[in-house]
Structure 1
Amino acid sequence: MSLDDLQDDVQGEYSDLDGELSVGTDRETRNELAMLLAALDTDDPDELVRRGVHMLFQSAVETGNLDFHLRTEYDVTYDEYLSGMTFEEMAGGADLPQTGTGDPDDRRYQF
């Protein structure tokens, strides 16, 4: 898979979320949600679900877990997804122009 495949899949998943998100819960989840509703002084469980998704996403990014799964499935990282280019494309890959002089002082900046 590739960066384009990942972008297509993210757009498809986002489109599928257009309706209301209905999540079934077990007893433990309901207890934890009730505790959070009480402690955070809110009556909106949907808001806590949104916060939970944000926290899970942030944790996955910070620990490298998201990059691991993206690399495994799509052979890209989250940074590559955000930039729209792979690191190889950013650095010019193997397609860097070479000078015919072979001068070791002739260095090119690569990002």
Structure 2
Amino acid sequence: MSLDDLTEEIESRYDDLGDETTLRLDRETRNELALLQSALDLDDADELLRRAVHQFFQATVETGRLDFHLRSGYDVTYDEYLSGMTYDEMTGDVGLSDQAQDDVQRYQY
């Protein structure tokens, strides 16, 4: 898989989600959500769920788990996804013949 494959997958799943998502909550999750909603005095459980997704995403990025899964499945990192190009493309190492690669290395200090 590649960066293009990842981008296509994200766009497809984004479209599938739409503006609203319905999800089933198990008993434990429903109880925790009700407790948080009461403690934080929020009327809208949707806001808590949005916050939870943001926090989970941030934790996954910070711990390197997102990069691990992206590298395993798509051979890219989150930084590469954000920039729209792989590290090889950024450094110019993609698509060079062996002779051209030797010339590039010869002039590196």
TM-score range, shorter chain: 0.7 to 0.9
Count of equivalent residues: 103
3-state SS of paired residue (1:72) = helix
How much has 1:19 moved relative to structure 2? 4.5
Moved more, 13-22 or 87-96: 87-96
**1:63 equivalent in alignment to 2:63:** yes
Give the whole-Å Cα distance in 1 for the aligned partners of 2:19 and 2:51.
19
How much has 1:107 moved relative to structure 2? 3.1
Q: Counterpart of 1:88?
A: 88
Structure 2 unmatched ranges of 5 or more: none
Please give the root-mean-square deviation of Cα atoms over the aligned residues, in Å: 1.7
Structure 1 unmatched ranges of 5 or more: none
Q: TM-score, normalised by structure 2?
A: 0.87
Higher helix proportion, which one?
2
Q: TM-score, normalised by structure 1?
A: 0.85
Q: Counterpart of 1:30?
A: 30
Percent identity among equivalent residues?
A: 58
